[in-house]
Amino acid sequence: MGFKYLADCRSMVDVINTLLEEHQLNVKFRFQRSLEDPKTQTSNNSKKNTKATFKKKGDLDRLSESEDCVLVSHKIDSKEKLDIYNPDGFLIGALLIESDSVMPSANEFTLTDEIIRILESSYDGLWITDGKGKVLYTNLANERLTGIKREDVVGKMTHELINQKLFSVSATLAVMNEHKRVTIMGYNYKTNKQVLITGNPIFNNDGELAFIVNNVRDITEFDNLRKELNDKDKIIDQQKIEIEKLKNSKKSMNRGYIFRSGIMSEIFELTQRVGRFDLNVLILGESGSGKEVVADSIVDASDRRDKPFIKVNCGAIPESLLESELFGYEKGAFTGAHQKGKIGMFELANGGTILLDEVADIPLNLQVKLLRAIQGKEIMRLGGSKTIKLDVRIIAATNKNLEEMAREGLFREDLFYRLNVVGITVPPLRERREDIPVLIHHFLKKFADKHKVEKSIETDLTDFLCNYSWPGNVRELENLIENLVVLTREPVIRKMHLPERMLRNTSEGYPIIDLHGIMPLKEAVGILEDKLIEMAMHEYGTTRKAAQALGVDQSTIVRKLNKQT
Protein backbone atom coordinates (compact mmCIF):
# COMPACT_ATOMS: atom_id res chain seq x y z
CA MET A 1 0.00 0.00 0.00
CA GLY A 2 1.43 3.35 -1.02
CA PHE A 3 1.79 6.20 1.43
CA LYS A 4 1.70 9.93 0.69
CA TYR A 5 1.24 13.19 2.47
CA LEU A 6 -1.39 15.66 1.39
CA ALA A 7 0.73 18.52 2.61
CA ASP A 8 0.67 20.01 -0.92
CA CYS A 9 -3.13 19.97 -1.01
CA ARG A 10 -4.02 22.63 1.48
CA SER A 11 -7.63 22.55 0.43
CA MET A 12 -7.80 18.85 1.38
CA VAL A 13 -6.35 19.54 4.83
CA ASP A 14 -8.83 22.37 5.29
CA VAL A 15 -11.65 19.95 4.51
CA ILE A 16 -10.37 17.48 7.10
CA ASN A 17 -10.00 20.19 9.73
CA THR A 18 -13.55 21.32 9.00
CA LEU A 19 -14.85 17.80 9.50
CA LEU A 20 -12.97 17.53 12.79
CA GLU A 21 -14.47 20.79 13.96
CA GLU A 22 -17.95 19.54 13.06
CA HIS A 23 -17.30 16.45 15.21
CA GLN A 24 -15.92 18.59 18.05
CA LEU A 25 -12.41 17.15 17.82
CA ASN A 26 -9.38 19.29 18.70
CA VAL A 27 -6.75 17.33 16.81
CA LYS A 28 -4.72 19.26 14.19
CA PHE A 29 -3.15 17.61 11.19
CA ARG A 30 0.43 18.74 10.92
CA PHE A 31 2.88 18.33 8.02
CA GLN A 32 5.91 16.14 8.54
CA ARG A 33 8.40 14.20 6.44
CA SER A 34 7.21 11.05 4.72
CA LEU A 35 7.44 7.76 6.59
CA GLU A 36 8.91 5.26 4.20
CA ASP A 37 7.80 2.20 6.19
CA PRO A 38 5.25 3.15 8.85
CA LYS A 39 4.15 0.49 11.28
CA THR A 40 0.70 -0.30 10.06
CA GLN A 41 -1.82 -2.58 11.67
CA THR A 42 -4.40 -2.24 8.98
CA SER A 43 -7.01 -4.94 9.24
CA ASN A 44 -9.43 -6.16 6.65
CA ASN A 45 -12.16 -4.45 8.61
CA SER A 46 -10.52 -1.07 8.05
CA LYS A 47 -10.75 -1.51 4.32
CA LYS A 48 -14.35 -2.72 4.40
CA ASN A 49 -15.62 0.00 6.70
CA THR A 50 -14.74 2.92 4.43
CA LYS A 51 -18.19 4.46 4.50
CA ALA A 52 -17.95 5.29 8.16
CA THR A 53 -16.78 8.85 8.69
CA PHE A 54 -14.53 7.84 11.56
CA LYS A 55 -13.50 4.35 12.42
CA LYS A 56 -12.31 4.88 15.98
CA LYS A 57 -13.45 8.11 17.47
CA GLY A 58 -11.87 7.27 20.79
CA ASP A 59 -8.41 6.91 19.30
CA LEU A 60 -8.73 10.35 17.75
CA ASP A 61 -9.83 11.83 21.06
CA ARG A 62 -6.65 10.57 22.70
CA LEU A 63 -4.38 12.53 20.30
CA SER A 64 -2.90 15.72 21.70
CA GLU A 65 -2.66 18.92 19.66
CA SER A 66 1.10 18.60 19.53
CA GLU A 67 1.10 15.25 17.78
CA ASP A 68 1.34 14.80 14.04
CA CYS A 69 -0.84 12.42 12.06
CA VAL A 70 -0.23 10.61 8.80
CA LEU A 71 -2.89 10.46 6.06
CA VAL A 72 -3.00 7.56 3.59
CA SER A 73 -5.14 8.03 0.48
CA HIS A 74 -7.13 5.35 -1.38
CA LYS A 75 -9.29 5.83 -4.52
CA ILE A 76 -12.57 3.90 -4.30
CA ASP A 77 -15.15 4.36 -7.08
CA SER A 78 -14.25 8.01 -7.75
CA LYS A 79 -14.30 8.68 -4.00
CA GLU A 80 -11.31 9.17 -1.78
CA LYS A 81 -10.73 7.36 1.53
CA LEU A 82 -8.15 8.71 3.95
CA ASP A 83 -6.71 6.35 6.56
CA ILE A 84 -5.42 8.16 9.63
CA TYR A 85 -2.27 6.92 11.36
CA ASN A 86 -0.70 8.15 14.58
CA PRO A 87 3.02 9.00 14.76
CA ASP A 88 3.75 5.38 15.63
CA GLY A 89 2.15 4.19 12.41
CA PHE A 90 -1.00 2.65 13.91
CA LEU A 91 -4.34 3.08 12.16
CA ILE A 92 -6.56 5.16 14.38
CA GLY A 93 -9.33 6.32 12.02
CA ALA A 94 -10.56 6.90 8.49
CA LEU A 95 -12.27 9.58 6.44
CA LEU A 96 -14.44 9.09 3.37
CA ILE A 97 -14.40 12.20 1.17
CA GLU A 98 -17.58 12.51 -0.89
CA SER A 99 -17.00 14.50 -4.12
CA ASP A 100 -20.43 16.09 -3.96
CA SER A 101 -19.93 17.44 -0.47
CA VAL A 102 -16.33 18.09 0.28
CA MET A 103 -14.26 17.77 -2.94
CA PRO A 104 -13.56 21.06 -4.74
CA SER A 105 -16.18 21.85 -7.40
CA ALA A 106 -15.25 21.72 -11.07
CA ASN A 107 -16.11 25.41 -11.16
CA GLU A 108 -14.07 26.32 -8.08
CA PHE A 109 -11.52 29.04 -8.92
CA THR A 110 -8.03 28.64 -7.46
CA LEU A 111 -4.75 30.19 -8.59
CA THR A 112 -1.27 29.13 -7.54
CA ASP A 113 1.42 31.68 -6.83
CA GLU A 114 3.16 30.76 -10.08
CA ILE A 115 0.01 31.31 -12.15
CA ILE A 116 -0.62 34.64 -10.43
CA ARG A 117 2.91 35.81 -11.24
CA ILE A 118 2.36 34.85 -14.88
CA LEU A 119 -0.95 36.71 -15.08
CA GLU A 120 0.50 39.78 -13.40
CA SER A 121 3.30 39.94 -15.98
CA SER A 122 0.82 40.39 -18.86
CA TYR A 123 0.96 43.77 -20.60
CA ASP A 124 -2.73 43.44 -21.45
CA GLY A 125 -5.40 43.74 -18.82
CA LEU A 126 -6.95 40.46 -17.63
CA TRP A 127 -10.42 40.26 -16.11
CA ILE A 128 -11.73 36.84 -15.01
CA THR A 129 -15.30 36.07 -13.94
CA ASP A 130 -17.22 32.93 -13.19
CA GLY A 131 -19.97 31.65 -15.47
CA LYS A 132 -22.53 33.93 -13.83
CA GLY A 133 -20.48 37.11 -14.24
CA LYS A 134 -19.00 37.36 -10.74
CA VAL A 135 -15.55 38.96 -10.87
CA LEU A 136 -12.90 36.58 -9.55
CA TYR A 137 -9.64 38.23 -10.53
CA THR A 138 -8.11 41.24 -12.30
CA ASN A 139 -4.41 41.90 -12.84
CA LEU A 140 -2.41 45.08 -12.31
CA ALA A 141 -2.28 45.80 -16.05
CA ASN A 142 -6.07 46.06 -16.04
CA GLU A 143 -5.84 48.67 -13.30
CA ARG A 144 -3.20 50.56 -15.28
CA LEU A 145 -5.25 50.52 -18.48
CA THR A 146 -8.70 51.17 -17.04
CA GLY A 147 -8.05 52.89 -13.71
CA ILE A 148 -10.30 50.32 -11.98
CA LYS A 149 -8.80 48.88 -8.79
CA ARG A 150 -9.21 45.16 -8.23
CA GLU A 151 -10.53 45.60 -4.71
CA ASP A 152 -13.41 47.64 -6.16
CA VAL A 153 -14.59 44.85 -8.46
CA VAL A 154 -13.48 41.42 -7.21
CA GLY A 155 -16.45 39.58 -5.74
CA LYS A 156 -19.00 41.79 -7.49
CA MET A 157 -21.36 40.92 -10.31
CA THR A 158 -20.65 42.37 -13.74
CA HIS A 159 -24.10 43.89 -14.22
CA GLU A 160 -23.68 45.78 -10.94
CA LEU A 161 -20.43 47.33 -12.20
CA ILE A 162 -22.12 48.45 -15.42
CA ASN A 163 -24.87 50.08 -13.38
CA GLN A 164 -22.13 51.90 -11.46
CA LYS A 165 -20.87 53.13 -14.88
CA LEU A 166 -17.36 51.80 -14.39
CA PHE A 167 -17.57 50.85 -18.07
CA SER A 168 -20.14 51.14 -20.82
CA VAL A 169 -20.43 47.61 -22.22
CA SER A 170 -19.35 44.16 -21.11
CA ALA A 171 -17.80 41.32 -23.07
CA THR A 172 -18.60 39.09 -20.09
CA LEU A 173 -22.35 39.57 -20.48
CA ALA A 174 -22.04 39.07 -24.24
CA VAL A 175 -20.19 35.77 -23.73
CA MET A 176 -22.81 34.67 -21.18
CA ASN A 177 -25.52 35.29 -23.79
CA GLU A 178 -23.74 33.86 -26.83
CA HIS A 179 -21.47 31.20 -25.28
CA LYS A 180 -18.68 32.02 -27.72
CA ARG A 181 -15.72 34.36 -28.04
CA VAL A 182 -16.82 37.99 -28.30
CA THR A 183 -14.79 41.11 -29.12
CA ILE A 184 -16.26 44.53 -28.42
CA MET A 185 -15.24 48.16 -28.15
CA GLY A 186 -15.80 49.71 -24.76
CA TYR A 187 -15.56 53.16 -23.25
CA ASN A 188 -14.09 53.68 -19.79
CA TYR A 189 -15.88 56.51 -17.99
CA LYS A 190 -13.12 56.82 -15.41
CA THR A 191 -10.20 57.29 -17.79
CA ASN A 192 -12.10 58.52 -20.88
CA LYS A 193 -10.35 55.85 -22.92
CA GLN A 194 -11.57 53.42 -25.52
CA VAL A 195 -10.60 49.81 -24.94
CA LEU A 196 -10.79 46.65 -27.03
CA ILE A 197 -12.15 43.75 -24.99
CA THR A 198 -12.10 40.10 -26.04
CA GLY A 199 -14.08 37.70 -23.85
CA ASN A 200 -13.18 34.00 -24.04
CA PRO A 201 -15.52 31.37 -22.52
CA ILE A 202 -14.19 28.37 -20.56
CA PHE A 203 -16.53 25.39 -20.21
CA ASN A 204 -16.41 22.56 -17.66
CA ASN A 205 -16.61 18.83 -18.46
CA ASP A 206 -20.41 19.02 -18.55
CA GLY A 207 -20.34 21.77 -21.20
CA GLU A 208 -21.46 24.43 -18.75
CA LEU A 209 -19.98 27.92 -18.77
CA ALA A 210 -17.53 27.90 -15.87
CA PHE A 211 -15.34 30.97 -16.37
CA ILE A 212 -14.91 33.94 -18.69
CA VAL A 213 -11.44 35.38 -19.32
CA ASN A 214 -11.46 38.92 -20.70
CA ASN A 215 -8.44 40.42 -22.45
CA VAL A 216 -8.47 44.23 -22.19
CA ARG A 217 -6.38 46.33 -24.56
CA ASP A 218 -6.20 50.13 -24.64
CA ILE A 219 -6.72 51.09 -28.30
CA THR A 220 -5.81 54.68 -27.48
CA GLU A 221 -2.21 53.48 -27.77
CA PHE A 222 -2.94 52.06 -31.22
CA ASP A 223 -4.56 55.32 -32.28
CA ASN A 224 -1.51 57.22 -31.05
CA LEU A 225 0.79 54.85 -32.95
CA ARG A 226 -1.33 55.23 -36.07
CA LYS A 227 -1.19 59.00 -35.71
CA GLU A 228 2.58 58.87 -35.26
CA LEU A 229 2.89 56.77 -38.41
CA ASN A 230 0.68 59.19 -40.34
CA ASP A 231 2.75 62.10 -39.04
CA LYS A 232 5.92 60.32 -40.12
CA ASP A 233 4.42 59.73 -43.58
CA LYS A 234 3.68 63.45 -43.83
CA ILE A 235 7.24 64.25 -42.76
CA ILE A 236 8.57 61.86 -45.40
CA ASP A 237 6.38 63.49 -48.06
CA GLN A 238 7.60 66.91 -46.96
CA GLN A 239 11.19 65.68 -47.07
CA LYS A 240 10.61 64.46 -50.62
CA ILE A 241 9.45 67.96 -51.51
CA GLU A 242 12.47 69.51 -49.81
CA ILE A 243 14.77 67.12 -51.67
CA GLU A 244 13.19 68.23 -54.94
CA LYS A 245 13.80 71.84 -53.89
CA LEU A 246 17.47 71.14 -53.20
CA LYS A 247 17.87 69.26 -56.47
CA ASN A 248 16.28 72.09 -58.42
CA SER A 249 18.33 74.68 -56.55
CA LYS A 250 21.52 72.80 -57.44
CA LYS A 251 20.42 72.57 -61.05
CA SER A 252 19.77 76.33 -61.17
CA MET A 253 23.27 77.08 -59.85
CA ASN A 254 24.99 74.74 -62.28
CA ARG A 255 22.72 75.22 -65.26
CA GLY A 256 24.13 77.04 -68.26
CA TYR A 257 21.88 77.77 -71.21
CA ILE A 258 24.09 77.17 -74.25
CA PHE A 259 23.08 78.95 -77.46
CA ARG A 260 24.33 81.49 -79.96
CA SER A 261 21.51 81.66 -82.51
CA GLY A 262 19.14 84.58 -82.64
CA ILE A 263 16.05 82.35 -82.48
CA MET A 264 17.19 80.74 -79.21
CA SER A 265 17.96 84.18 -77.79
CA GLU A 266 14.36 85.18 -78.52
CA ILE A 267 13.04 82.00 -76.89
CA PHE A 268 15.20 82.56 -73.81
CA GLU A 269 13.94 86.14 -73.47
CA LEU A 270 10.37 84.85 -73.79
CA THR A 271 10.92 82.35 -70.99
CA GLN A 272 12.13 85.17 -68.71
CA ARG A 273 8.96 87.16 -69.36
CA VAL A 274 6.59 84.22 -69.11
CA GLY A 275 8.28 82.87 -65.99
CA ARG A 276 7.13 85.82 -63.89
CA PHE A 277 3.45 85.01 -64.50
CA ASP A 278 1.53 81.98 -63.26
CA LEU A 279 0.41 80.89 -66.72
CA ASN A 280 0.25 77.41 -68.20
CA VAL A 281 2.81 76.94 -70.97
CA LEU A 282 2.84 74.47 -73.87
CA ILE A 283 6.30 73.74 -75.32
CA LEU A 284 6.44 72.16 -78.79
CA GLY A 285 9.44 70.68 -80.52
CA GLU A 286 11.07 67.56 -81.83
CA SER A 287 12.46 64.95 -79.49
CA GLY A 288 15.83 65.98 -78.08
CA SER A 289 15.49 69.60 -79.21
CA GLY A 290 15.70 71.04 -75.68
CA LYS A 291 12.09 71.37 -74.50
CA GLU A 292 13.07 70.41 -70.95
CA VAL A 293 15.80 73.07 -70.90
CA VAL A 294 13.21 75.67 -71.93
CA ALA A 295 10.98 74.48 -69.07
CA ASP A 296 13.93 74.84 -66.67
CA SER A 297 14.43 78.41 -67.86
CA ILE A 298 10.76 79.25 -67.21
CA VAL A 299 10.92 77.87 -63.68
CA ASP A 300 14.21 79.64 -62.93
CA ALA A 301 12.60 82.95 -63.90
CA SER A 302 9.51 82.36 -61.73
CA ASP A 303 8.70 82.94 -58.08
CA ARG A 304 8.43 79.17 -57.77
CA ARG A 305 12.12 78.59 -58.50
CA ASP A 306 12.76 77.36 -54.94
CA LYS A 307 9.59 75.27 -54.83
CA PRO A 308 9.16 71.68 -56.07
CA PHE A 309 9.63 71.11 -59.80
CA ILE A 310 8.34 67.65 -60.71
CA LYS A 311 9.01 66.26 -64.18
CA VAL A 312 6.81 63.47 -65.52
CA ASN A 313 7.34 61.69 -68.83
CA CYS A 314 3.76 60.66 -69.59
CA GLY A 315 4.87 58.53 -72.52
CA ALA A 316 7.19 56.42 -70.37
CA ILE A 317 4.53 55.38 -67.84
CA PRO A 318 2.14 52.51 -68.69
CA GLU A 319 -1.38 53.75 -69.28
CA SER A 320 -2.73 51.56 -66.47
CA LEU A 321 -0.42 53.26 -63.95
CA LEU A 322 -0.47 56.83 -65.24
CA GLU A 323 -3.50 57.98 -63.24
CA SER A 324 -2.13 56.67 -59.94
CA GLU A 325 1.30 58.19 -60.68
CA LEU A 326 -0.15 61.62 -61.45
CA PHE A 327 -2.89 61.82 -58.82
CA GLY A 328 -1.88 59.20 -56.23
CA TYR A 329 -4.15 56.59 -54.68
CA GLU A 330 -5.77 55.70 -51.37
CA LYS A 331 -5.04 52.46 -49.54
CA GLY A 332 -6.81 49.48 -51.06
CA ALA A 333 -7.57 51.38 -54.29
CA PHE A 334 -6.54 48.39 -56.39
CA THR A 335 -4.87 45.01 -56.12
CA GLY A 336 -1.23 45.42 -55.17
CA ALA A 337 -1.72 48.97 -53.88
CA HIS A 338 0.45 49.99 -50.95
CA GLN A 339 -1.52 49.65 -47.73
CA LYS A 340 -0.83 53.26 -46.81
CA GLY A 341 -1.71 54.66 -50.23
CA LYS A 342 0.63 56.83 -52.28
CA ILE A 343 1.07 60.53 -52.88
CA GLY A 344 0.89 61.51 -56.56
CA MET A 345 3.10 63.76 -58.68
CA PHE A 346 0.62 66.64 -58.53
CA GLU A 347 0.67 66.59 -54.72
CA LEU A 348 4.47 66.45 -54.73
CA ALA A 349 4.47 69.54 -56.95
CA ASN A 350 2.08 71.48 -54.70
CA GLY A 351 3.27 75.06 -54.41
CA GLY A 352 5.61 74.59 -57.35
CA THR A 353 5.58 73.42 -60.96
CA ILE A 354 4.91 70.17 -62.79
CA LEU A 355 6.24 69.39 -66.27
CA LEU A 356 4.04 67.00 -68.24
CA ASP A 357 6.42 65.83 -70.95
CA GLU A 358 4.92 63.89 -73.88
CA VAL A 359 1.51 65.19 -72.81
CA ALA A 360 -0.01 64.01 -76.11
CA ASP A 361 0.36 60.43 -74.86
CA ILE A 362 -2.14 60.93 -72.03
CA PRO A 363 -5.24 58.81 -72.87
CA LEU A 364 -8.53 60.61 -73.53
CA ASN A 365 -10.26 59.24 -70.42
CA LEU A 366 -7.49 60.62 -68.21
CA GLN A 367 -7.48 63.96 -70.02
CA VAL A 368 -10.86 64.67 -68.39
CA LYS A 369 -9.34 64.36 -64.91
CA LEU A 370 -6.37 66.51 -65.95
CA LEU A 371 -8.74 69.18 -67.26
CA ARG A 372 -10.61 69.14 -63.94
CA ALA A 373 -7.33 69.53 -62.07
CA ILE A 374 -6.44 72.58 -64.19
CA GLN A 375 -9.86 74.21 -63.96
CA GLY A 376 -10.66 73.51 -60.32
CA LYS A 377 -7.09 73.49 -58.98
CA GLU A 378 -7.90 70.30 -57.12
CA ILE A 379 -7.41 66.57 -57.61
CA MET A 380 -8.89 63.37 -56.23
CA ARG A 381 -6.73 60.36 -55.51
CA LEU A 382 -7.57 57.08 -57.17
CA GLY A 383 -10.02 55.30 -54.89
CA GLY A 384 -10.54 58.47 -52.86
CA SER A 385 -13.78 60.24 -51.95
CA LYS A 386 -12.58 63.77 -51.24
CA THR A 387 -10.80 66.40 -53.30
CA ILE A 388 -7.40 67.87 -52.46
CA LYS A 389 -6.78 71.55 -53.18
CA LEU A 390 -3.52 72.25 -54.97
CA ASP A 391 -1.47 75.22 -56.16
CA VAL A 392 0.50 73.91 -59.12
CA ARG A 393 1.75 75.58 -62.26
CA ILE A 394 1.57 73.31 -65.31
CA ILE A 395 4.09 73.23 -68.13
CA ALA A 396 3.30 70.73 -70.89
CA ALA A 397 5.60 69.55 -73.66
CA THR A 398 5.20 67.36 -76.72
CA ASN A 399 6.89 66.50 -80.00
CA LYS A 400 3.51 66.13 -81.71
CA ASN A 401 1.18 68.65 -83.34
CA LEU A 402 -1.29 68.94 -80.50
CA GLU A 403 -3.55 71.37 -82.34
CA GLU A 404 -3.95 68.98 -85.27
CA MET A 405 -4.59 66.10 -82.86
CA ALA A 406 -7.32 68.17 -81.23
CA ARG A 407 -8.96 68.79 -84.62
CA GLU A 408 -8.84 65.07 -85.38
CA GLY A 409 -10.37 64.18 -82.00
CA LEU A 410 -7.22 62.53 -80.70
CA PHE A 411 -6.76 65.14 -77.97
CA ARG A 412 -9.38 67.13 -76.07
CA GLU A 413 -9.69 70.55 -77.63
CA ASP A 414 -10.68 72.22 -74.34
CA LEU A 415 -7.62 70.73 -72.64
CA PHE A 416 -5.39 71.92 -75.48
CA TYR A 417 -6.54 75.51 -74.98
CA ARG A 418 -6.10 75.22 -71.20
CA LEU A 419 -2.51 74.09 -71.67
CA ASN A 420 -1.67 76.43 -74.53
CA VAL A 421 -2.12 79.74 -72.71
CA VAL A 422 1.41 80.54 -73.84
CA GLY A 423 2.94 78.44 -76.61
CA ILE A 424 6.69 78.12 -77.26
CA THR A 425 8.11 76.20 -80.21
CA VAL A 426 11.70 75.01 -79.90
CA PRO A 427 13.33 74.68 -83.35
CA PRO A 428 15.30 71.52 -84.18
CA LEU A 429 19.09 71.73 -84.11
CA ARG A 430 19.35 71.72 -87.92
CA GLU A 431 17.43 75.04 -87.96
CA ARG A 432 19.89 76.74 -85.60
CA ARG A 433 23.28 75.53 -86.75
CA GLU A 434 24.99 78.49 -85.11
CA ASP A 435 24.42 76.68 -81.81
CA ILE A 436 26.22 73.49 -82.86
CA PRO A 437 29.87 74.69 -82.35
CA VAL A 438 29.20 76.07 -78.86
CA LEU A 439 27.27 72.94 -77.92
CA ILE A 440 30.12 70.73 -79.18
CA HIS A 441 32.71 72.49 -77.02
CA HIS A 442 30.35 72.62 -74.05
CA PHE A 443 29.77 68.86 -74.17
CA LEU A 444 33.45 68.18 -74.86
CA LYS A 445 34.50 69.97 -71.67
CA LYS A 446 31.67 68.44 -69.67
CA PHE A 447 32.55 64.84 -70.52
CA ALA A 448 36.32 65.33 -70.51
CA ASP A 449 36.01 66.60 -66.93
CA LYS A 450 33.60 63.81 -66.04
CA HIS A 451 35.88 61.05 -67.31
CA LYS A 452 39.12 62.87 -66.35
CA VAL A 453 40.69 62.93 -69.83
CA GLU A 454 42.19 65.60 -72.09
CA LYS A 455 40.47 65.82 -75.47
CA SER A 456 40.13 68.27 -78.34
CA ILE A 457 38.26 68.21 -81.67
CA GLU A 458 39.76 68.96 -85.07
CA THR A 459 38.21 71.71 -87.19
CA ASP A 460 37.18 69.36 -90.03
CA LEU A 461 35.10 67.30 -87.61
CA THR A 462 33.41 70.44 -86.24
CA ASP A 463 32.54 71.55 -89.78
CA PHE A 464 31.17 68.11 -90.59
CA LEU A 465 29.02 68.07 -87.46
CA CYS A 466 27.69 71.55 -88.19
CA ASN A 467 26.37 70.29 -91.55
CA TYR A 468 24.91 67.07 -90.22
CA SER A 469 21.11 66.80 -90.12
CA TRP A 470 20.86 65.72 -86.45
CA PRO A 471 17.55 63.87 -86.49
CA GLY A 472 18.01 63.31 -82.74
CA ASN A 473 18.80 66.99 -82.19
CA VAL A 474 20.78 68.16 -79.14
CA ARG A 475 20.39 64.84 -77.34
CA GLU A 476 21.99 63.00 -80.25
CA LEU A 477 24.87 65.49 -80.33
CA GLU A 478 25.44 65.15 -76.59
CA ASN A 479 25.50 61.35 -76.74
CA LEU A 480 27.88 61.40 -79.71
CA ILE A 481 30.41 63.67 -77.96
CA GLU A 482 30.45 61.52 -74.82
CA ASN A 483 30.91 58.43 -76.98
CA LEU A 484 33.88 60.02 -78.78
CA VAL A 485 35.47 61.24 -75.54
CA VAL A 486 35.33 57.76 -74.04
CA LEU A 487 36.20 55.61 -77.05
CA THR A 488 38.81 57.72 -78.88
CA ARG A 489 42.31 56.77 -77.77
CA GLU A 490 44.07 59.77 -79.31
CA PRO A 491 43.94 63.16 -77.58
CA VAL A 492 42.48 64.75 -80.74
CA ILE A 493 39.09 63.56 -81.96
CA ARG A 494 38.94 63.45 -85.76
CA LYS A 495 36.32 62.77 -88.41
CA MET A 496 37.64 59.24 -88.83
CA HIS A 497 36.53 58.47 -85.26
CA LEU A 498 32.86 59.02 -86.09
CA PRO A 499 30.55 56.00 -86.17
CA GLU A 500 30.54 54.34 -89.57
CA ARG A 501 26.81 54.91 -90.04
CA MET A 502 27.32 58.69 -89.95
CA LEU A 503 30.11 58.57 -92.51
CA ARG A 504 28.31 56.11 -94.80
CA ASN A 505 24.87 57.69 -94.81
CA THR A 506 25.74 61.37 -95.03
CA SER A 507 26.77 63.70 -97.76
CA GLU A 508 27.28 67.17 -96.42
CA GLY A 509 24.95 66.19 -93.65
CA TYR A 510 22.14 64.83 -95.83
CA PRO A 511 21.07 61.19 -96.12
CA ILE A 512 21.94 59.43 -99.38
CA ILE A 513 19.28 57.46 -101.22
CA ASP A 514 20.80 54.19 -102.34
CA LEU A 515 19.00 52.45 -105.20
CA HIS A 516 21.03 49.28 -105.56
CA GLY A 517 17.98 47.15 -106.03
CA ILE A 518 14.23 47.04 -106.34
CA MET A 519 12.23 48.39 -103.40
CA PRO A 520 8.52 49.07 -102.97
CA LEU A 521 7.55 52.27 -104.73
CA LYS A 522 5.76 53.61 -101.67
CA GLU A 523 8.89 53.16 -99.59
CA ALA A 524 11.03 54.92 -102.20
CA VAL A 525 8.59 57.84 -102.35
CA GLY A 526 8.68 58.10 -98.58
CA ILE A 527 12.47 58.23 -98.53
CA LEU A 528 12.49 60.91 -101.21
CA GLU A 529 9.86 62.97 -99.39
CA ASP A 530 11.84 62.84 -96.17
CA LYS A 531 15.00 64.01 -97.91
CA LEU A 532 13.22 66.84 -99.73
CA ILE A 533 11.57 68.06 -96.54
CA GLU A 534 14.88 67.93 -94.67
CA MET A 535 16.62 69.88 -97.43
CA ALA A 536 13.84 72.48 -97.49
CA MET A 537 13.94 72.89 -93.73
CA HIS A 538 17.70 73.33 -93.88
CA GLU A 539 17.35 75.88 -96.67
CA TYR A 540 14.43 77.95 -95.36
CA GLY A 541 14.47 77.32 -91.60
CA THR A 542 10.71 77.28 -90.93
CA THR A 543 7.92 74.83 -91.73
CA ARG A 544 5.88 77.62 -93.34
CA LYS A 545 8.60 78.57 -95.84
CA ALA A 546 9.51 74.93 -96.48
CA ALA A 547 5.87 74.15 -97.22
CA GLN A 548 5.71 77.05 -99.68
CA ALA A 549 8.86 75.82 -101.44
CA LEU A 550 7.52 72.26 -101.69
CA GLY A 551 4.00 73.34 -102.65
CA VAL A 552 2.19 71.65 -99.73
CA ASP A 553 0.33 72.76 -96.62
CA GLN A 554 2.33 73.64 -93.53
CA SER A 555 0.41 70.97 -91.54
CA THR A 556 1.71 68.33 -93.97
CA ILE A 557 5.31 69.35 -93.30
CA VAL A 558 4.72 69.34 -89.54
CA ARG A 559 3.01 65.96 -89.64
CA LYS A 560 5.77 64.34 -91.70
CA LEU A 561 8.48 65.85 -89.48
CA ASN A 562 6.75 64.43 -86.43
CA LYS A 563 6.51 61.08 -88.18
CA GLN A 564 10.26 61.14 -88.80
CA THR A 565 10.95 61.54 -85.08
CATH code for the domain in which residue 287 is found: 3.40.50.300
Q: How many domains is the chain built from?
A: 5
Q: Is residue 244 part of a domain?
A: yes
325-362 residue pLDDT tens: 999 988 766 665 666 778 899 999 999 999 999 999 99
Mean pLDDT of 235-242: 73
Is there a single domain that holds both residue 419 and residue 276?
yes
C-alpha neighbours within 13 Å on the C-beta side of residue 170: 26
Task: State the Cα–Cα distance between residues 63 and 343, nearest whole angstrom.
Answer: 88
> 66: domain range?
10-97
Decide which of 240 and 493 is more confident. 493
User: What SS3 class is residue 40?
Assistant: coil
What sign has the CA pseudo-torsion 44, 48, 49, 50? positive
Is there a single domain that holds both residue 133 and residue 251?
no
- pLDDT bin (cut points 50, 70, 90) of residue 552 is confident
375-433 residue pLDDT tens: 999 999 988 888 999 999 999 999 999 999 999 999 999 999 999 999 999 999 999 99
In CATH, what number is assigned to the domain containing residue 117?
A: 3.30.450.20
Q: Are strands 388-389 and 378-379 parallel, antiparallel or unpaired?
A: antiparallel
Task: State the Cα–Cα distance between residues 68 and 126, nearest whole angstrom.
Answer: 42
Q: Is residue 267 part of a domain?
A: yes
Last residue of a domain, one of 65, 97, 129: 97
Mean pLDDT of 96-111: 53
Residue 235: which residues within 8 A CB-CB, separation 6 or more?
none
Q: Which of 34-48, 226-240, 528-542 has the lowest mean pLDDT?
A: 34-48
Mean pLDDT of 82-102: 62
Is there a single domain that holds both residue 233 and residue 372?
yes
In CATH, what number is assigned to the domain containing residue 486?
A: 1.10.8.60
- pLDDT bin (cut points 50, 70, 90) of residue 51 is very low
Which burial class, exposed, middle or buried, applies to 34 when counting CB atoms under 10 A from its CB (0-12, 13-18, 19+)? exposed
The alpha-helical segments, DSSP class H, found in 37-157 are 44-48, 57-61, 113-120, 140-146
> Is residue 139 scored above 50 in pLDDT?
yes
Is there a single domain that holds both residue 281 and residue 342?
yes
pTM of the complete model beyond 0.85: no
Contact 152, 137 (CB under 8 A): no
Decide which of 386 and 57 is more confident. 386
Residue 113: which residues within 8 A CB-CB, separation 6 or more?
none
pLDDT above 70: percentage of residues in the chain: 73
Among 399, 489, 506, 498, smallest CA distance to 440 is for: 498
Q: Is residue 511 part of a domain?
A: no
Last residue of a domain, one of 387, 407, 426: 426
Is there a single domain that holds both residue 373 and residue 453?
no
Is there a single domain that holds both residue 246 and residue 148?
no
pLDDT of residue 129: 93
